[in-house]
Amino acid sequence: MKIIKVNDMMCKMCVMHLEEALKKAGIQGSVSLDNKIVKVDDQDVKKAMDVISKAGYTPTI
């Protein structure tokens, strides 16, 4: 698993938005508001970062 930081995720709606975007892209992962992170499989990191960016957030590794 790889951890992607999403510092501009602020609320439960952000979590739901990211979960839906990842699911739509076929990426399995978990989103944590408390830690402001998204965990995805190593092979999905690039695609997940693109999805997170397109959803309006700033992903960092």
Q: What is the set of domains in the chain, with CATH numbers? A: 2-60 (3.30.70.100)
pLDDT value at residue 50:
98
**Owner of token pair 């839906």:** 20
Reduced to 3 DSSP states, what percent helix, strand and coil does the chain have, rounded to the nearest 5? 45, 25, 35
CA neighbor of 32 nearest in space, from 60, 47, 12, 50: 12
Q: pTM here?
A: 0.94
Model confidence at 3, in pLDDT bands (50, 70, 90)?
very high
Mean per-residue pLDDT over the chain, rounded: 97
One-letter amino acid for residue 8 of the chain = D
